[in-house]
Amino acid sequence: MAGQALASNRVFVTVVLPCLNEEASVGRCVHEAAVALASAGLPSEVLVVDNNSTDRSVEVALAHGARVISECRPGYGSALRAGIEAALGEIVVMADADLTYDLSKIAQLVRPVADGSADIVLGERLSEAPRSTMSFLHRRVGTPALTLLVRRATNGLRVTDSQSGYRAFRRDAILDLGMTSVGMEFASEMLIRANRAGLRVIETSTGYRERIGEAKLNTFSDGWRHLRQILLLAPHLMLVTPGALLVAFGLAFLAVGLILPSGLSVGSLRWQPSFISGIALVVGVQGIVAGFVLAEQRRKVSGRSPSHSPKRPSVPAICLVIGVVIGIAGLGIDVGLFVVWLHLDHSFTRGVALAAMAQSLVIDGVSLAGFGMIYPMLARDSWDAVGTDREKDRVPISAPEHEETRARN
């Protein structure tokens, strides 16, 4: 019944399998996918993207009926982007060539995309995966943490396994997202960009099996790449919002220090909040500035040039003005305190709080003014570089030395 329903839509499906030294498993993956697609009555192809394999992966894939292309740029994301671009199907299913994903369940992923009820379907792994298939660190720490960050970056996207590499989607919709990832962070980037583009994302449980061959995932370096990508796409998540909160706390503590110059009683001790207020203000402003830089970088890599009305000053210009103003204000407070000290006026009890304020204003003023002066120059250089990079991205994918198989089922 499921096969008949899918066949009636006459959608053409491409299964993309990135491959790096998967000689022992790629043939079985190609066969399993082909059988599943044939039983569902789907016109299809299996496309293996060789990512610089040094074993017989290409020969094995060709022998089992796959079409094979070569992607010389290393990385999981690079291979997938090349495969999606080269796919002939209007619906693409991405999986791995290590037999971890149950490719007999392809129709389960394709059906919601084919009938128009979803744009992306994730094959959720965790609920049915035996413990032996995934390490404790990945199952209980890495995947849940990254999923939480992705959900926060997408304002609550309802997914439980954001790192699953088993997905079905419409090819054109994903190409329109302008994906840039070259590594494992491709999984997070797709979901964040898809959410912002208004694409509908759902999950279906597909399980997970023990891989064949050597694992390619590097827990810490790939985890860092994911975190960096999420920060690039959603700088508000861990920089702008926390930075703004720190600035608010800093101002509140500073007010307490001015109102209660002798500090607060903590048991038998006296706590002076003026010092922590200075730290919070400096760190908070740095976070906001860093978040803005990442936001501009996000616009750059997504292909949107920085723009602002000629009648309205740019954010760097505003930062420069604010930085100069508050820096001068901080220096003015310092000069005033120095004058008080010269007159030996020890009755001025708010000197500590004002000194902390002056220090914070000077540091934040220098940071903001420096950012306002330097960022426009860096941005111009970055835009020259991104133009060159985009030209490189248009280079056709090189064909392998082996003859490509282009037969349609």
30 with 409: CB under 8 angstroms? Answer: no
> What are residue 259's phi and psi, to 5 degrees?
-75, -40
213 with 22: CB under 8 angstroms? Answer: yes
Q: What is the pLDDT of residue 312?
A: 56
Q: Measured on CA atoms in the order 215, 233, 235, 306, is the torsion positive or negative? A: positive
Structure tokens at 18: 């990135």
Q: What is the pLDDT of residue 90?
A: 96
For the chain, domain boundaries: 2-232, 236-388
Burial class (CB in 10 A: 0-12, 13-18, 19+), 221: exposed
Query: Tens place of pLDDT for every residue, the chain, 409 residues?
Result: 444 445 445 569 999 999 999 999 999 999 999 999 999 999 999 999 999 999 999 999 999 999 999 999 999 999 999 999 999 999 999 999 999 999 999 999 999 999 999 999 999 999 887 777 887 787 888 899 999 999 988 988 999 999 999 999 999 999 999 999 999 999 999 999 999 999 999 999 999 999 887 777 777 777 788 788 887 788 777 788 888 999 999 889 888 888 887 777 777 777 778 778 888 988 998 888 888 777 766 665 555 544 444 455 677 888 889 999 999 999 999 898 888 878 766 666 677 788 888 888 899 898 888 888 887 776 665 545 444 444 444 343 334 444 443 344 3
- For residues 185 and 381, what is the distance between their CA atoms, to the nearest angstrom? 26
- For residues 371 and 377, what is the distance between their CA atoms, to the nearest angstrom? 10
214 contact partners, CB below 8 Å, separation of at least 6: 21
DSSP symbols for 111-134: HHHHTTS-SEEEEE-TTT--GGGS
Q: Is the pTM of this model over 0.75?
A: no
> What are residue 92's phi and psi, to 5 degrees?
-115, 135
263 contact partners, CB below 8 Å, separation of at least 6: 257, 270, 271, 272, 273
Burial class (CB in 10 A: 0-12, 13-18, 19+), 161: buried
Q: The domain 2-232: what is its CATH number?
A: 3.90.550.10
- For residues 252 and 226, what is the distance between their CA atoms, to the nearest angstrom? 35
- For residues 179 and 177, what is the distance between their CA atoms, to the nearest angstrom? 6
- For residues 185 and 57, what is the distance between their CA atoms, to the nearest angstrom? 24
Structure tokens at 292: 């803005």
DSSP symbols for 49-92: EE-S--SSHHHHHHHTT-EEEE--S-SHHHHHHHHHHH--SSEE
Q: What is the pLDDT of residue 209?
A: 93
* 3-state secondary structure (DSSP) of residue 409: coil
- For residues 302 and 390, what is the distance between their CA atoms, to the nearest angstrom? 11
Alpha-helical runs (H) found in 234-350: 241-259, 273-301, 315-342
297 contact partners, CB below 8 Å, separation of at least 6: 232, 382
Apex 134 CA angle, 128 and 139, nearest 5: 80
Q: Which of 81, 113, 114 minimizes the C-alpha distance to 200?
A: 113
Q: Which of 82, 138, 94, 91 minimizes the C-alpha distance to 118?
A: 91
Structure tokens at 242: 């926390």
